[in-house]
Chain A
Amino acid sequence: MDHEAAQLEKQHVHDVYESTAPYFTDLQSKAWPRVRQFLQEQKPGSLIADIGCGTGKYLKVNSQVHTLGCDYCGPLVEIARSRGGEVMVCDNLNLPFRDQGFDAIISIGVIHHFSTKQRRIRAIKEMARVLVPGGQLMIYVWAMEQKNRHFEKQDVLVPWNRALCSRLLSESSQPGRKMPCGHPERSHPYHPPCSVCSCSVCFKGRCDSTQSHSVGYEPVMAGACCASIRKESEEENGFYNTLGKSFRSWFFSRSLDESTLRKQIERVRPLKNTEGWANSTISIQPARHSSLDLDHQEPFSTREQHLDEEVFVETPQKHLEWLKARATRKHLNGDHQGEIRRHGDGNFLDSTNTNESCVDRGNLEKGKASASKILRKVSAVDSMDSIPDDTIPVEEQQPDILDSRAFMRYYHVFREGELCGLLKENVSELHILSSGNDHGNWCIIAEKKEND
Protein backbone atom coordinates (compact mmCIF):
# COMPACT_ATOMS: atom_id res chain seq x y z
CA MET A 1 0.00 0.00 0.00
CA ASP A 2 2.82 2.35 0.77
CA HIS A 3 4.14 1.91 -2.73
CA GLU A 4 0.80 2.76 -4.25
CA ALA A 5 0.49 5.68 -1.95
CA ALA A 6 3.86 6.95 -3.04
CA GLN A 7 2.87 6.48 -6.66
CA LEU A 8 -0.33 8.41 -6.21
CA GLU A 9 1.47 11.21 -4.46
CA LYS A 10 4.11 11.31 -7.11
CA GLN A 11 1.61 11.69 -9.85
CA HIS A 12 -0.88 13.90 -8.11
CA VAL A 13 1.17 15.99 -5.80
CA HIS A 14 4.85 16.08 -6.68
CA ASP A 15 4.62 16.05 -10.44
CA VAL A 16 1.88 18.63 -10.43
CA TYR A 17 3.78 21.04 -8.23
CA GLU A 18 6.83 20.52 -10.30
CA SER A 19 5.01 21.25 -13.52
CA THR A 20 3.18 24.24 -12.20
CA ALA A 21 6.02 25.76 -10.22
CA PRO A 22 7.10 28.09 -13.03
CA TYR A 23 3.83 29.89 -12.74
CA PHE A 24 4.70 31.00 -9.28
CA THR A 25 7.96 32.62 -10.14
CA ASP A 26 6.85 36.17 -10.22
CA LEU A 27 4.19 36.09 -7.67
CA GLN A 28 4.26 37.82 -4.41
CA SER A 29 2.94 35.57 -1.75
CA LYS A 30 1.27 36.62 1.39
CA ALA A 31 1.66 34.97 4.73
CA TRP A 32 -1.51 33.95 6.48
CA PRO A 33 -2.14 36.09 9.52
CA ARG A 34 -2.32 33.33 12.06
CA VAL A 35 0.70 31.57 10.72
CA ARG A 36 2.52 34.86 10.58
CA GLN A 37 1.54 35.49 14.16
CA PHE A 38 2.77 32.09 15.24
CA LEU A 39 6.13 32.78 13.65
CA GLN A 40 6.43 36.22 15.11
CA GLU A 41 5.71 34.91 18.56
CA GLN A 42 8.72 32.65 18.47
CA LYS A 43 11.62 33.75 20.63
CA PRO A 44 14.43 35.65 18.92
CA GLY A 45 17.21 33.28 18.01
CA SER A 46 14.85 30.39 17.45
CA LEU A 47 15.48 27.77 14.81
CA ILE A 48 12.35 27.23 12.78
CA ALA A 49 11.56 24.74 10.04
CA ASP A 50 8.89 25.28 7.42
CA ILE A 51 8.23 21.77 6.22
CA GLY A 52 6.54 22.12 2.86
CA CYS A 53 7.61 25.70 2.39
CA GLY A 54 6.73 25.94 -1.28
CA THR A 55 7.95 29.24 -2.66
CA GLY A 56 8.97 30.34 0.79
CA LYS A 57 6.36 32.84 1.80
CA TYR A 58 6.93 32.24 5.49
CA LEU A 59 10.67 32.21 5.45
CA LYS A 60 11.16 35.90 6.00
CA VAL A 61 8.28 36.72 8.25
CA ASN A 62 10.44 37.01 11.33
CA SER A 63 13.93 38.36 10.94
CA GLN A 64 14.84 37.50 14.52
CA VAL A 65 14.67 33.79 13.92
CA HIS A 66 16.45 31.46 11.57
CA THR A 67 13.98 29.68 9.33
CA LEU A 68 14.85 26.76 7.16
CA GLY A 69 12.49 26.01 4.35
CA CYS A 70 12.07 22.46 3.11
CA ASP A 71 10.01 21.15 0.27
CA TYR A 72 9.83 18.04 -1.84
CA CYS A 73 9.49 20.10 -4.99
CA GLY A 74 12.80 21.27 -6.40
CA PRO A 75 11.43 24.03 -8.63
CA LEU A 76 9.46 25.56 -5.79
CA VAL A 77 12.51 25.46 -3.57
CA GLU A 78 14.49 27.22 -6.27
CA ILE A 79 11.96 30.00 -6.22
CA ALA A 80 12.13 30.25 -2.46
CA ARG A 81 15.86 30.48 -2.67
CA SER A 82 15.73 33.18 -5.28
CA ARG A 83 13.77 35.16 -2.74
CA GLY A 84 16.58 34.86 -0.28
CA GLY A 85 15.46 31.92 1.78
CA GLU A 86 17.66 29.22 3.24
CA VAL A 87 16.12 26.12 1.77
CA MET A 88 16.55 22.51 0.89
CA VAL A 89 14.82 19.71 -0.91
CA CYS A 90 13.73 16.84 1.28
CA ASP A 91 10.90 14.52 2.19
CA ASN A 92 8.56 15.17 5.10
CA LEU A 93 8.41 11.42 5.68
CA ASN A 94 12.13 11.18 6.12
CA LEU A 95 13.54 14.43 7.40
CA PRO A 96 17.32 14.65 7.22
CA PHE A 97 17.65 16.33 10.57
CA ARG A 98 19.01 15.33 13.89
CA ASP A 99 16.56 14.90 16.74
CA GLN A 100 15.36 17.92 18.60
CA GLY A 101 17.02 20.53 16.45
CA PHE A 102 14.16 22.95 15.90
CA ASP A 103 12.39 25.28 18.29
CA ALA A 104 9.31 25.48 16.13
CA ILE A 105 7.93 23.94 12.97
CA ILE A 106 5.15 24.91 10.61
CA SER A 107 3.35 22.58 8.25
CA ILE A 108 0.94 24.65 6.23
CA GLY A 109 -1.14 22.85 3.70
CA VAL A 110 1.07 19.80 3.51
CA ILE A 111 -0.28 16.87 5.49
CA HIS A 112 -3.42 16.75 3.41
CA HIS A 113 -1.36 15.65 0.45
CA PHE A 114 -0.47 12.35 2.02
CA SER A 115 -2.70 9.65 0.76
CA THR A 116 -2.80 7.23 3.67
CA LYS A 117 -3.38 7.67 7.34
CA GLN A 118 -0.10 5.98 8.11
CA ARG A 119 1.83 8.40 5.98
CA ARG A 120 0.10 11.36 7.54
CA ILE A 121 1.01 10.05 10.96
CA ARG A 122 4.55 9.42 9.86
CA ALA A 123 4.90 12.95 8.57
CA ILE A 124 3.70 14.38 11.86
CA LYS A 125 5.91 12.06 13.89
CA GLU A 126 8.93 13.07 11.86
CA MET A 127 8.27 16.69 12.63
CA ALA A 128 7.78 15.88 16.30
CA ARG A 129 11.08 14.05 16.30
CA VAL A 130 13.08 17.04 15.13
CA LEU A 131 11.36 19.38 17.53
CA VAL A 132 12.93 20.34 20.85
CA PRO A 133 10.95 19.43 23.95
CA GLY A 134 8.69 22.38 24.59
CA GLY A 135 8.87 23.36 20.96
CA GLN A 136 5.70 24.03 18.99
CA LEU A 137 4.32 22.66 15.79
CA MET A 138 1.62 24.36 13.76
CA ILE A 139 -0.29 22.32 11.22
CA TYR A 140 -2.83 23.53 8.67
CA VAL A 141 -4.86 21.13 6.59
CA TRP A 142 -7.76 21.62 4.28
CA ALA A 143 -11.12 21.02 5.92
CA MET A 144 -13.75 18.78 4.51
CA GLU A 145 -16.39 21.00 6.01
CA GLN A 146 -16.57 24.19 4.08
CA LYS A 147 -19.05 26.94 4.77
CA ASN A 148 -21.16 26.63 1.73
CA ARG A 149 -20.05 23.39 0.37
CA HIS A 150 -19.52 19.95 1.74
CA PHE A 151 -17.11 17.56 0.13
CA GLU A 152 -18.83 14.32 -0.49
CA LYS A 153 -15.71 12.38 0.13
CA GLN A 154 -12.49 12.95 1.91
CA ASP A 155 -10.15 11.88 -0.80
CA VAL A 156 -10.28 14.13 -3.75
CA LEU A 157 -8.43 14.86 -6.92
CA VAL A 158 -8.67 18.49 -7.70
CA PRO A 159 -8.20 19.60 -11.25
CA TRP A 160 -5.90 22.45 -11.83
CA ASN A 161 -6.25 23.62 -15.32
CA ARG A 162 -3.14 25.24 -16.50
CA ALA A 163 -4.74 26.69 -19.56
CA LEU A 164 -6.79 28.98 -17.46
CA CYS A 165 -4.10 30.17 -15.16
CA SER A 166 -1.40 29.98 -17.67
CA ARG A 167 -0.14 33.46 -18.03
CA LEU A 168 0.84 35.58 -15.16
CA LEU A 169 1.08 39.27 -15.51
CA SER A 170 4.63 39.30 -14.42
CA GLU A 171 5.41 42.12 -16.71
CA SER A 172 2.35 44.01 -15.79
CA SER A 173 2.65 47.72 -15.79
CA GLN A 174 0.63 47.91 -12.69
CA PRO A 175 2.54 48.51 -9.54
CA GLY A 176 3.24 45.48 -7.54
CA ARG A 177 2.47 42.01 -8.50
CA LYS A 178 -0.43 39.77 -8.08
CA MET A 179 -1.99 36.73 -9.53
CA PRO A 180 -3.74 37.24 -12.79
CA CYS A 181 -6.99 37.10 -11.05
CA GLY A 182 -5.87 39.54 -8.50
CA HIS A 183 -5.36 37.15 -5.70
CA PRO A 184 -2.42 36.71 -3.49
CA GLU A 185 -0.55 33.70 -4.56
CA ARG A 186 -0.76 30.44 -2.87
CA SER A 187 2.11 28.29 -3.57
CA HIS A 188 0.50 25.62 -1.55
CA PRO A 189 -3.09 25.46 -2.37
CA TYR A 190 -4.48 24.68 0.92
CA HIS A 191 -7.33 26.81 -0.10
CA PRO A 192 -9.98 25.30 -2.20
CA PRO A 193 -9.21 26.13 -5.73
CA CYS A 194 -11.39 28.59 -7.48
CA SER A 195 -14.38 26.72 -8.64
CA VAL A 196 -14.30 28.35 -11.97
CA CYS A 197 -10.87 27.94 -13.26
CA SER A 198 -9.83 25.40 -10.70
CA CYS A 199 -6.92 27.63 -10.14
CA SER A 200 -5.51 26.87 -6.79
CA VAL A 201 -4.73 30.43 -6.14
CA CYS A 202 -7.93 31.89 -7.34
CA PHE A 203 -10.39 32.40 -4.59
CA LYS A 204 -13.96 32.69 -5.43
CA GLY A 205 -14.55 35.47 -3.06
CA ARG A 206 -11.96 37.65 -4.56
CA CYS A 207 -12.25 36.95 -8.17
CA ASP A 208 -12.45 40.16 -9.93
CA SER A 209 -13.00 41.06 -13.47
CA THR A 210 -11.20 44.31 -13.14
CA GLN A 211 -7.75 43.13 -13.88
CA SER A 212 -4.79 45.22 -14.48
CA HIS A 213 -4.58 45.89 -18.11
CA SER A 214 -1.63 44.44 -19.72
CA VAL A 215 -1.35 45.28 -23.30
CA GLY A 216 0.52 42.91 -25.40
CA TYR A 217 0.49 40.05 -22.97
CA GLU A 218 -1.66 37.11 -22.78
CA PRO A 219 -4.57 38.22 -20.73
CA VAL A 220 -5.69 36.23 -17.83
CA MET A 221 -9.04 34.79 -17.69
CA ALA A 222 -9.56 33.71 -14.21
CA GLY A 223 -11.02 37.00 -13.17
CA ALA A 224 -13.27 37.14 -16.13
CA CYS A 225 -14.66 33.74 -15.64
CA CYS A 226 -15.29 34.43 -12.04
CA ALA A 227 -16.85 37.74 -12.82
CA SER A 228 -19.18 36.15 -15.24
CA ILE A 229 -20.19 33.51 -12.85
CA ARG A 230 -20.83 36.03 -10.22
CA LYS A 231 -22.86 38.24 -12.40
CA GLU A 232 -24.92 35.53 -13.88
CA SER A 233 -25.66 33.59 -10.84
CA GLU A 234 -26.45 36.51 -8.66
CA GLU A 235 -29.36 37.20 -10.80
CA GLU A 236 -30.50 33.71 -11.23
CA ASN A 237 -29.99 30.75 -9.07
CA GLY A 238 -27.66 32.28 -6.66
CA PHE A 239 -24.00 32.29 -6.38
CA TYR A 240 -23.54 29.13 -4.43
CA ASN A 241 -25.68 26.91 -6.52
CA THR A 242 -23.34 27.53 -9.32
CA LEU A 243 -20.38 27.05 -7.09
CA GLY A 244 -21.85 23.84 -5.89
CA LYS A 245 -21.98 22.51 -9.39
CA SER A 246 -18.39 23.30 -10.00
CA PHE A 247 -17.41 21.55 -6.84
CA ARG A 248 -19.23 18.50 -7.94
CA SER A 249 -17.16 18.54 -11.02
CA TRP A 250 -14.13 17.70 -8.98
CA PHE A 251 -13.01 14.20 -9.03
CA PHE A 252 -13.18 11.95 -6.12
CA SER A 253 -10.52 9.51 -5.39
CA ARG A 254 -10.97 6.26 -3.70
CA SER A 255 -9.34 6.46 -0.36
CA LEU A 256 -6.18 4.44 -0.28
CA ASP A 257 -7.02 3.30 3.16
CA GLU A 258 -10.36 1.92 2.22
CA SER A 259 -9.35 -0.65 -0.24
CA THR A 260 -6.55 -2.08 -2.17
CA LEU A 261 -5.59 0.22 -4.90
CA ARG A 262 -6.01 -1.93 -7.87
CA LYS A 263 -5.52 -0.19 -11.10
CA GLN A 264 -6.44 3.20 -9.81
CA ILE A 265 -3.33 4.84 -10.96
CA GLU A 266 -3.32 3.49 -14.46
CA ARG A 267 -6.93 3.71 -15.26
CA VAL A 268 -8.06 6.44 -17.52
CA ARG A 269 -11.40 6.67 -19.10
CA PRO A 270 -12.27 9.18 -21.76
CA LEU A 271 -15.37 11.15 -21.29
CA LYS A 272 -18.29 10.12 -23.33
CA ASN A 273 -20.08 13.34 -23.22
CA THR A 274 -17.92 16.24 -24.16
CA GLU A 275 -20.56 18.82 -23.76
CA GLY A 276 -21.47 17.81 -20.29
CA TRP A 277 -17.88 17.86 -19.29
CA ALA A 278 -17.16 21.23 -20.73
CA ASN A 279 -20.11 22.76 -19.10
CA SER A 280 -19.80 21.29 -15.70
CA THR A 281 -16.10 21.60 -15.21
CA ILE A 282 -16.04 25.27 -15.72
CA SER A 283 -19.41 25.74 -14.22
CA ILE A 284 -20.11 29.01 -15.80
CA GLN A 285 -23.70 28.21 -16.20
CA PRO A 286 -26.21 30.94 -16.18
CA ALA A 287 -29.48 29.43 -15.23
CA ARG A 288 -31.34 31.16 -17.97
CA HIS A 289 -29.75 28.94 -20.53
CA SER A 290 -31.90 25.93 -20.69
CA SER A 291 -29.17 23.84 -22.11
CA LEU A 292 -27.22 24.48 -19.00
CA ASP A 293 -29.82 23.73 -16.52
CA LEU A 294 -28.26 23.93 -13.17
CA ASP A 295 -30.56 21.48 -11.58
CA HIS A 296 -30.23 19.00 -14.29
CA GLN A 297 -28.17 16.02 -13.50
CA GLU A 298 -25.26 16.61 -15.76
CA PRO A 299 -23.62 13.66 -17.35
CA PHE A 300 -20.51 14.43 -15.54
CA SER A 301 -22.12 14.57 -12.16
CA THR A 302 -23.75 11.28 -12.73
CA ARG A 303 -20.55 9.81 -13.84
CA GLU A 304 -19.01 11.06 -10.70
CA GLN A 305 -21.04 8.75 -8.59
CA HIS A 306 -19.45 5.90 -10.38
CA LEU A 307 -16.07 7.39 -10.05
CA ASP A 308 -15.17 5.10 -7.30
CA GLU A 309 -13.21 3.09 -9.75
CA GLU A 310 -12.23 5.68 -12.26
CA VAL A 311 -10.70 8.81 -11.04
CA PHE A 312 -8.87 9.82 -14.10
CA VAL A 313 -10.63 11.36 -16.98
CA GLU A 314 -9.10 12.51 -20.17
CA THR A 315 -9.84 16.09 -20.87
CA PRO A 316 -11.19 16.25 -24.35
CA GLN A 317 -9.38 18.35 -26.85
CA LYS A 318 -12.35 20.55 -27.44
CA HIS A 319 -12.68 21.39 -23.86
CA LEU A 320 -9.14 22.55 -23.71
CA GLU A 321 -9.49 24.66 -26.77
CA TRP A 322 -12.38 26.34 -25.17
CA LEU A 323 -10.33 26.99 -22.11
CA LYS A 324 -7.63 28.51 -24.20
CA ALA A 325 -10.13 30.74 -25.83
CA ARG A 326 -11.27 32.02 -22.53
CA ALA A 327 -7.71 32.72 -21.81
CA THR A 328 -7.63 35.29 -24.50
CA ARG A 329 -10.30 37.51 -23.21
CA LYS A 330 -9.16 40.93 -22.50
CA HIS A 331 -9.79 42.16 -19.11
CA LEU A 332 -11.17 45.28 -17.81
CA ASN A 333 -9.15 47.98 -16.40
CA GLY A 334 -9.03 48.84 -12.82
CA ASP A 335 -6.77 48.40 -9.99
CA HIS A 336 -8.34 46.65 -7.15
CA GLN A 337 -5.14 45.31 -5.93
CA GLY A 338 -5.40 47.12 -2.70
CA GLU A 339 -8.84 45.88 -1.97
CA ILE A 340 -8.02 42.39 -2.95
CA ARG A 341 -5.02 42.33 -0.75
CA ARG A 342 -6.99 43.63 2.14
CA HIS A 343 -9.48 40.90 1.87
CA GLY A 344 -6.55 38.71 2.31
CA ASP A 345 -6.79 35.05 2.25
CA GLY A 346 -9.68 33.06 3.04
CA ASN A 347 -12.27 30.62 2.30
CA PHE A 348 -13.58 31.43 -1.03
CA LEU A 349 -16.90 30.16 0.08
CA ASP A 350 -17.03 32.69 2.78
CA SER A 351 -20.31 34.33 1.99
CA THR A 352 -19.64 37.59 3.70
CA ASN A 353 -16.48 38.19 1.82
CA THR A 354 -17.96 37.11 -1.42
CA ASN A 355 -21.02 39.22 -1.25
CA GLU A 356 -18.98 42.16 -0.29
CA SER A 357 -16.60 41.81 -3.12
CA CYS A 358 -19.24 40.86 -5.61
CA VAL A 359 -21.28 43.88 -5.18
CA ASP A 360 -18.53 46.40 -5.08
CA ARG A 361 -16.59 45.49 -8.11
CA GLY A 362 -17.38 47.95 -10.75
CA ASN A 363 -17.32 47.76 -14.43
CA LEU A 364 -18.82 44.40 -14.82
CA GLU A 365 -20.96 45.21 -17.72
CA LYS A 366 -18.36 44.67 -20.31
CA GLY A 367 -17.29 41.53 -18.64
CA LYS A 368 -20.77 40.29 -18.47
CA ALA A 369 -21.46 40.92 -22.09
CA SER A 370 -18.50 39.07 -23.36
CA ALA A 371 -18.89 36.38 -20.79
CA SER A 372 -22.40 35.80 -21.91
CA LYS A 373 -21.24 35.56 -25.45
CA ILE A 374 -18.75 32.94 -24.60
CA LEU A 375 -21.15 31.09 -22.41
CA ARG A 376 -23.66 30.85 -25.13
CA LYS A 377 -21.05 29.54 -27.40
CA VAL A 378 -20.13 26.90 -24.96
CA SER A 379 -23.59 25.60 -24.67
CA ALA A 380 -23.44 24.23 -28.14
CA VAL A 381 -20.73 21.76 -28.70
CA ASP A 382 -19.99 22.63 -32.24
CA SER A 383 -19.55 26.22 -31.33
CA MET A 384 -16.16 25.23 -30.09
CA ASP A 385 -15.00 25.80 -33.61
CA SER A 386 -15.97 29.38 -33.59
CA ILE A 387 -13.74 30.22 -30.74
CA PRO A 388 -11.79 33.34 -31.45
CA ASP A 389 -8.50 32.86 -33.03
CA ASP A 390 -6.42 34.94 -30.72
CA THR A 391 -5.60 32.10 -28.48
CA ILE A 392 -2.65 32.15 -26.24
CA PRO A 393 0.44 30.82 -27.80
CA VAL A 394 0.53 27.14 -27.57
CA GLU A 395 3.26 26.01 -25.34
CA GLU A 396 5.71 23.42 -26.38
CA GLN A 397 4.39 20.99 -23.90
CA GLN A 398 1.05 20.86 -25.51
CA PRO A 399 0.54 17.27 -24.51
CA ASP A 400 0.69 18.27 -20.89
CA ILE A 401 -2.25 20.55 -21.25
CA LEU A 402 -4.21 17.87 -22.90
CA ASP A 403 -3.58 15.39 -20.18
CA SER A 404 -5.71 16.56 -17.33
CA ARG A 405 -4.26 13.91 -15.12
CA ALA A 406 -1.09 15.86 -14.92
CA PHE A 407 -2.79 18.69 -13.18
CA MET A 408 -4.98 17.01 -10.69
CA ARG A 409 -3.83 17.31 -7.16
CA TYR A 410 -4.64 14.81 -4.54
CA TYR A 411 -6.02 15.94 -1.21
CA HIS A 412 -7.26 14.14 1.80
CA VAL A 413 -9.56 16.71 3.31
CA PHE A 414 -9.92 16.47 7.04
CA ARG A 415 -13.06 16.16 9.04
CA GLU A 416 -13.54 18.21 12.12
CA GLY A 417 -11.65 16.58 14.92
CA GLU A 418 -9.74 14.27 12.65
CA LEU A 419 -6.43 16.03 12.92
CA CYS A 420 -6.73 16.25 16.69
CA GLY A 421 -7.68 12.62 16.87
CA LEU A 422 -4.76 11.68 14.72
CA LEU A 423 -2.34 13.36 17.07
CA LYS A 424 -3.95 12.13 20.25
CA GLU A 425 -4.04 8.53 19.18
CA ASN A 426 -0.83 8.23 17.27
CA VAL A 427 1.60 10.93 18.22
CA SER A 428 1.83 10.77 21.95
CA GLU A 429 4.96 12.87 21.98
CA LEU A 430 2.83 15.88 21.08
CA HIS A 431 0.40 17.66 23.32
CA ILE A 432 -2.30 19.76 21.66
CA LEU A 433 -2.33 23.37 22.77
CA SER A 434 -5.03 24.72 20.55
CA SER A 435 -7.07 23.85 17.52
CA GLY A 436 -9.59 25.53 15.34
CA ASN A 437 -10.69 26.46 11.92
CA ASP A 438 -9.07 29.16 9.89
CA HIS A 439 -10.60 30.00 6.56
CA GLY A 440 -11.60 26.51 5.67
CA ASN A 441 -8.60 24.83 7.21
CA TRP A 442 -8.33 22.81 10.36
CA CYS A 443 -5.39 24.04 12.27
CA ILE A 444 -3.61 22.84 15.30
CA ILE A 445 -0.79 24.03 17.49
CA ALA A 446 0.89 21.25 19.43
CA GLU A 447 3.81 21.14 21.76
CA LYS A 448 6.50 18.52 22.06
CA LYS A 449 6.32 16.97 25.46
CA GLU A 450 9.31 17.18 27.69
CA ASN A 451 11.50 14.15 27.91
CA ASP A 452 10.80 11.93 30.86
Chain B
Amino acid sequence: MKLLTHNLLSSHVRGVGPRGLPLRLQATEVRINNVEFNPDFVARMIPKVEWEVLLEAADHLRLIEVPKGPIQGYEQDETFLRKMHHVLLEVEVLEGTLQCPESGRMFPISRGIPNMLLSSEETET
Protein backbone atom coordinates (compact mmCIF):
# COMPACT_ATOMS: atom_id res chain seq x y z
CA MET B 1 0.00 0.00 0.00
CA LYS B 2 1.41 3.33 -1.05
CA LEU B 3 1.09 6.45 0.99
CA LEU B 4 -0.95 8.08 -1.72
CA THR B 5 -3.50 5.33 -1.24
CA HIS B 6 -3.40 5.70 2.51
CA ASN B 7 -4.08 9.37 2.04
CA LEU B 8 -7.42 8.56 0.45
CA LEU B 9 -8.56 6.22 3.17
CA SER B 10 -10.83 7.08 6.01
CA SER B 11 -12.62 5.13 8.66
CA HIS B 12 -15.90 3.60 7.59
CA VAL B 13 -16.65 1.90 10.85
CA ARG B 14 -20.28 2.35 11.67
CA GLY B 15 -21.06 4.94 14.24
CA VAL B 16 -17.67 6.52 14.03
CA GLY B 17 -17.55 10.27 13.63
CA PRO B 18 -17.75 12.16 10.39
CA ARG B 19 -16.21 10.69 7.30
CA GLY B 20 -12.71 11.74 6.69
CA LEU B 21 -11.21 10.32 9.82
CA PRO B 22 -7.83 9.08 8.69
CA LEU B 23 -6.56 5.69 9.66
CA ARG B 24 -3.55 5.34 11.82
CA LEU B 25 -0.81 3.57 9.97
CA GLN B 26 1.66 1.17 11.51
CA ALA B 27 4.07 -0.88 9.47
CA THR B 28 6.19 -3.88 10.22
CA GLU B 29 7.51 -4.21 6.72
CA VAL B 30 8.14 -1.43 4.29
CA ARG B 31 9.68 -1.54 0.86
CA ILE B 32 11.05 1.24 -1.25
CA ASN B 33 10.35 0.84 -4.92
CA ASN B 34 11.79 2.61 -7.89
CA VAL B 35 8.99 4.32 -9.65
CA GLU B 36 9.52 6.37 -12.74
CA PHE B 37 9.42 10.03 -11.91
CA ASN B 38 6.78 11.97 -13.72
CA PRO B 39 6.88 15.60 -12.53
CA ASP B 40 3.60 16.61 -14.15
CA PHE B 41 1.84 13.69 -12.60
CA VAL B 42 3.19 14.45 -9.14
CA ALA B 43 2.40 18.14 -9.49
CA ARG B 44 -1.21 17.31 -10.22
CA MET B 45 -1.40 15.09 -7.15
CA ILE B 46 -0.27 17.78 -4.78
CA PRO B 47 -3.61 19.63 -4.49
CA LYS B 48 -5.28 16.36 -3.58
CA VAL B 49 -3.03 15.50 -0.72
CA GLU B 50 -4.33 15.69 2.82
CA TRP B 51 -1.13 16.95 4.37
CA GLU B 52 -1.84 16.18 8.00
CA VAL B 53 -2.62 12.61 7.13
CA LEU B 54 0.49 12.31 5.00
CA LEU B 55 2.77 13.80 7.63
CA GLU B 56 1.46 11.57 10.35
CA ALA B 57 1.84 8.47 8.21
CA ALA B 58 5.32 9.48 7.14
CA ASP B 59 6.17 10.04 10.75
CA HIS B 60 5.00 6.57 11.73
CA LEU B 61 7.11 5.13 8.98
CA ARG B 62 10.03 7.24 10.13
CA LEU B 63 10.48 8.80 6.76
CA ILE B 64 12.80 11.74 6.45
CA GLU B 65 12.81 14.71 4.17
CA VAL B 66 9.11 14.89 3.83
CA PRO B 67 7.90 18.34 2.78
CA LYS B 68 5.58 19.85 5.33
CA GLY B 69 3.27 21.31 2.75
CA PRO B 70 3.12 22.66 -0.77
CA ILE B 71 5.65 25.37 -1.33
CA GLN B 72 5.40 28.36 -3.54
CA GLY B 73 5.91 27.43 -7.17
CA TYR B 74 6.01 23.74 -6.37
CA GLU B 75 4.95 22.85 -9.90
CA GLN B 76 8.37 23.74 -11.20
CA ASP B 77 10.39 22.76 -8.17
CA GLU B 78 11.98 19.48 -9.08
CA THR B 79 13.50 18.88 -5.68
CA PHE B 80 10.16 19.28 -4.02
CA LEU B 81 8.42 17.14 -6.59
CA ARG B 82 10.97 14.39 -6.33
CA LYS B 83 10.57 14.25 -2.58
CA MET B 84 6.80 14.08 -2.93
CA HIS B 85 7.15 11.46 -5.62
CA HIS B 86 9.21 9.37 -3.27
CA VAL B 87 6.87 9.70 -0.32
CA LEU B 88 3.63 9.20 -2.19
CA LEU B 89 4.58 6.57 -4.72
CA GLU B 90 7.80 4.83 -3.83
CA VAL B 91 7.27 3.96 -0.21
CA GLU B 92 5.19 0.86 0.11
CA VAL B 93 3.83 -0.75 3.24
CA LEU B 94 3.89 -4.49 2.77
CA GLU B 95 2.88 -5.57 6.24
CA GLY B 96 1.17 -3.49 8.83
CA THR B 97 -2.09 -2.25 10.19
CA LEU B 98 -4.54 0.57 9.75
CA GLN B 99 -6.44 1.62 12.81
CA CYS B 100 -9.59 3.59 13.21
CA PRO B 101 -8.63 6.25 15.73
CA GLU B 102 -12.06 6.40 17.28
CA SER B 103 -13.20 2.79 17.49
CA GLY B 104 -9.80 1.20 17.65
CA ARG B 105 -10.78 -1.25 14.94
CA MET B 106 -7.74 -2.61 13.13
CA PHE B 107 -7.46 -3.46 9.46
CA PRO B 108 -4.56 -5.55 8.27
CA ILE B 109 -2.17 -4.85 5.45
CA SER B 110 -0.76 -8.09 4.09
CA ARG B 111 1.51 -8.50 1.10
CA GLY B 112 0.91 -4.89 0.33
CA ILE B 113 -2.85 -5.24 0.30
CA PRO B 114 -5.03 -3.54 2.89
CA ASN B 115 -8.15 -5.42 3.81
CA MET B 116 -10.90 -3.02 4.73
CA LEU B 117 -13.77 -5.44 5.00
CA LEU B 118 -15.95 -5.07 8.03
CA SER B 119 -17.73 -7.99 9.57
CA SER B 120 -21.44 -8.44 8.97
CA GLU B 121 -22.18 -7.30 12.49
CA GLU B 122 -20.35 -4.10 11.89
CA THR B 123 -22.15 -3.28 8.68
CA GLU B 124 -25.69 -4.41 9.09
CA THR B 125 -28.26 -1.72 9.40
Contact = CB atoms under 8 A, between A and B. Distances in A.
B12 A94 contact: yes
A414 to B, nearest CB: 24
A26 interface: no
B8 A91 contact: no
B6 to A, nearest CB: 10
Contacts of A244: none
Chain B: number of interface residues, binned into ranges: 35 or more
Contacts of A339: none
Interface stretch (A82-90, A231-239, A384-392, A429-437): A82-90
B63 interface: no
A78 B19 CA distance: 28
Contact of A88 (B4, B10, B19, B115): B115
B41 A45 contact: yes
Interface centre among B2, B4, B20, B113 (most CB of A within 10 A): B113
Contact of B111 (A47, A64, A81, A98): A81
B97 interface: no
Contact of A6 (B23, B38, B120): B120
A81 B112 contact: yes
A45 B84 CA distance: 14
Contacts of B48: 47, 101
B41 A44 contact: yes
Contact of B10 (A43, A46, A47, A97): A97
A59 B123 CA distance: 28
A115 to B, nearest CB: 15
Interface centre among A72, A89, A129 (most CB of B within 10 A): A89
B118 interface: yes
Interface in A62-105: 64, 66, 68, 72, 74, 77-78, 81, 86-91, 93-99, 101-102
Nearest to B89: A66
Given A90-B116, A98-B9, A45 B44 contact: yes
Interface in A209-224: none
A99 B19 contact: yes
A68 B116 contact: no
B45 A66 contact: yes
Interface centre among A2, A90, A99 (most CB of B within 10 A): A90
B50 interface: yes
B118 A88 contact: no
Given A94-B123, A101-B8, A86 B2 contact: yes
Contacts of A45: 40-45
A3 interface: yes
Contact of A99 (B20, B113, B124): B20
A91 B19 contact: no
Interface in A29-65: 43-47, 64
Given A96-B9, A98-B19, A44 B44 contact: yes
Given A66-B4, A68-B5, A101-B48, A91 B118 contact: yes
A2 B120 CA distance: 11
Given A81-B112, A97-B9, A99-B19, 15 more contacts: A2-B125, A45-B43, A45-B45, A46-B44, A64-B38, A66-B89, A81-B113, A86-B5, A90-B116, A96-B11, A96-B12, A96-B107, A97-B12, A98-B10, A98-B50
Interface of A: 2-3, 6, 43-47, 64, 66, 68, 72, 74, 77-78, 81, 86-91, 93-99, 101-102, 129
9 contacts: A44-B44, A68-B5, A74-B115, A78-B111, A90-B117, A98-B9, A98-B20, A99-B20, A102-B8
In the complex, the 7 A-B pairs of residues with the closest C-beta atoms, listed nearest first? A45-B44, A90-B116, A98-B10, A96-B116, A89-B115, A101-B8, A88-B114
